[in-house]
């Protein structure tokens, strides 16, 4: 099957599944978790691809059968109208599955299938931007819920009045990173401020960064002597235990100067594990930037969280519109977007990038 110049090779996928099942059937495989874990992860991804292909075939057959039945009805009686309604339903289901297959084909980089680590930071503007950052946090959580992806907090620092000062999430699910990487950049909000008693219109910015969770898919050596680990008391809400013990962890990777922190858990050990996960993702990102100039441009474009650098604008006043400035896709259904309906933006950006790549 070919869509948008990509391949969906069902036969080779089934062959790969058989190979994986043979490898996992080895008697000593479970004593080698460093080998078994990546194989299990790949098997899950291959199973999902085969399931998607089967669903596509089922939708196609269903549409053909209902279409044939509708052609047999030569008058607008109840049966023919019911058949036409079923044809429309079957067509919509097939179209939805085709769109899913297209996305799977476009997400063809190795790390695209990984889970995602997403970081959100408000720009300048105090409580306005902090509230906007929390709105984005809710949007991505609702999007993950729609996908049946699991969400866990690696770090969360709430603001004093409203909103958040920073947040780091782990969103686990196949293709989570491949889908969410389109969200990396500056997001701008235009609205009448609920915090301004004069009712003036404000513009707020927040930065979103997206990293692949590469913990199990790639080897990255982190030397203990290269780390400076500081522990401190967590700030903000969290209960008596969090605020009375040095449970928060900050890790500095001295060779690169990368600093990560985690304070969301009550356990210092769990916070350290989460911080190391983010550090590993950051180091992977740094290596990828060295290898690919295009990726370096993509991530370094977020130098200033302000005017002229936004990838998407969410306008609530004086009109209602969400527009992505990279592919010019837009919608007036702002409420739906802020409730997690961002798949159309992701799909249109992926298609635009694929088209531009082929033109070059």
Same domain, 240 and 273: yes
Share of the chain above pLDDT 90, in %: 32
Contacts of 305 (CB under 8 A, 6+ apart): 121, 122, 123, 124, 186, 205, 206, 207
pLDDT in tens, 288-305: 776 555 444 444 444 456
Same domain, 229 and 207: no
Same domain, 73 and 207: no
Output the domain CATH number for residue 263: 3.30.160.20
pTM of the model: 0.70
Q: Using CA atoms, how far apart are residues 273 and 275, in angstroms rounded to an integer?
A: 5
pLDDT confidence tier of residue 239, bands split at 50, 70 and 90: very low
Q: Using CA atoms, how far apart are residues 5 and 328, in angstroms rounded to an integer?
A: 22
pLDDT in tens, 330-346: 999 999 999 999 999 99
Taking every pair of Cα atoms in the chain, the longest distance, rounded to a whole number of angstroms, is 81
Residue 4 confidence (pLDDT): 41
* 234-246 average pLDDT score: 56
* 324-331 average pLDDT score: 95
Q: Using CA atoms, how far apart are residues 8 and 10, in angstroms rounded to an integer?
A: 6
Range of the domain at 17: 2-106
Examine residue 234 and state whether it is found in any structural domain, yes or no.
yes
Same domain, 210 and 234: no
Choose one of 74, 106, 138: the last residue of a domain: 106
Instruction: Tally the domains of the chain.
Output: 3
Mean pLDDT of the chain: 83
Same domain, 254 and 130: no
Residue 224 confidence (pLDDT): 83
pLDDT in tens, 254-284: 888 888 888 877 788 888 888 888 888 888 8
Count CB atoms within 10 A of the CB of residue 15.
12
Residue 337 confidence (pLDDT): 97
Same domain, 10 and 96: yes
pLDDT confidence tier of residue 244, bands split at 50, 70 and 90: low
Residue 176 confidence (pLDDT): 93
pLDDT for 220 beyond 90: no
Same domain, 209 and 122: yes
Examine residue 138 and state whether it is found in any structural domain, yes or no.
yes
Same domain, 277 and 342: no
Same domain, 210 and 313: yes
Q: Using CA atoms, how far apart are residues 135 and 164, in angstroms rounded to an integer?
A: 9
* 118-141 average pLDDT score: 94
Q: Using CA atoms, how far apart are residues 329 and 350, in angstroms rounded to an integer?
A: 11
From 209, 211, 166, 206, select the one nearest 186 (Cα to Cα). Answer: 206
pLDDT confidence tier of residue 218, bands split at 50, 70 and 90: low
Examine residue 167 and state whether it is found in any structural domain, yes or no.
yes
Same domain, 48 and 87: yes
* 65-70 average pLDDT score: 84
CA 178, 305, 213 angle in degrees (round to 5)? 25
Residue 188 confidence (pLDDT): 96
Examine residue 341 and state whether it is found in any structural domain, yes or no.
yes
Q: Which has the minimum average pLDDT: 62-71, 87-96, 210-219?
A: 210-219
Residue 215 confidence (pLDDT): 61
* 26-43 average pLDDT score: 82
Examine residue 296 and state whether it is found in any structural domain, yes or no.
no
The answer to whether the beta carbons of residues 176 and 149 sit under 8 Å apart is yes
pLDDT in tens, 130-182: 999 999 999 999 999 999 999 999 889 998 889 999 999 999 988 899 999 99
pLDDT for 76 beyond 80: no
Choose one of 65, 89, 106: the last residue of a domain: 106
Question: Pairing mode, if any, of strands 185-192 and 310-315?
Answer: parallel
Output the domain CATH number for residue 70: 1.20.58
Residue 171 confidence (pLDDT): 96
Share of the chain above pLDDT 70, in %: 85
Residue 306 confidence (pLDDT): 56
The answer to whether the beta carbons of residues 187 and 135 sit under 8 Å apart is no
Examine residue 297 and state whether it is found in any structural domain, yes or no.
no
Same domain, 146 and 12: no
Choose one of 71, 106, 141: the last residue of a domain: 106
pLDDT in tens, 17-33: 898 888 888 888 888 87
Residue 152 confidence (pLDDT): 92
Output the domain CATH number for residue 123: 3.30.70.1660
Same domain, 125 and 37: no
């Amino acid at each position: 099957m070919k869509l948008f110049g990509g391949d969906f090779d069902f036969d080779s996928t089934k062959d790969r599944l058989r190979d994986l099942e043979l490898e996992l059937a080895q008697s000593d495989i479970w004593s080698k978790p460093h080998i078994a874990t990546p194989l299990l992860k790949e098997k899950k991804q291959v199973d999902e691809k085969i399931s998607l292909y089967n669903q596509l075939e089922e939708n196609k057959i269903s549409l053909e059968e209902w279409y044939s039945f509708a052609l047999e009805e030569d008058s607008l009686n109840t049966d023919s109208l019911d058949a036409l309604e079923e044809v429309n339903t079957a067509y919509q289901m097939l179209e939805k599955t085709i769109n899913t297959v297209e996305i799977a084909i476009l997400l063809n980089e190795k790390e695209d299938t990984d889970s995602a680590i997403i970081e959100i930071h408000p720009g300048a503007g105090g409580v306005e931007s902090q509230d906007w950052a929390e709105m984005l946090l809710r949007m991505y959580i609702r999007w993950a819920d729609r996908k049946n992806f699991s969400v866990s907090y690696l770090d969360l620092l709430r603001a004093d009045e409203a909103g958040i000062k920073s947040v780091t999430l782990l969103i686990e699910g196949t293709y989570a990173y491949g889908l969410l990487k389109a969200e990396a950049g500056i997001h701008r909000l235009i609205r009448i401020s609920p915090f301004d008693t004069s009712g003036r219109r404000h513009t707020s910015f927040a930065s979103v960064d997206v990293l692949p969770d590469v913990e199990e898919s790639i080897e990255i050596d982190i030397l203990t002597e290269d780390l400076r680990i500081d522990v401190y008391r967590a700030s903000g809400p969290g209960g008596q235990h969090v605020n009375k013990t040095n449970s928060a962890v900050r890790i500095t990777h001295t060779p690169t100067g990368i600093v990560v922190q985690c304070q969301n858990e009550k356990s210092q050990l769990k916070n350290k594990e989460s911080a190391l996960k983010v550090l590993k993702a950051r180091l992977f990102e740094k290596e990828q930037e060295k290898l690919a100039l295009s990726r370096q441009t993509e991530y370094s474009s977020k130098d200033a969280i302000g005017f002229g650098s936004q990838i998407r604008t969410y306008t609530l006043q004086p009109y209602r519109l969400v527009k992505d400035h990279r592919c010019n896709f837009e919608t007036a259904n702002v409420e739906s977007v802020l409730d997690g309906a961002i798949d159309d933006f992701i799909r249109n950006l992926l298609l635009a990038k694929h088209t531009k790549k082929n033109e070059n």
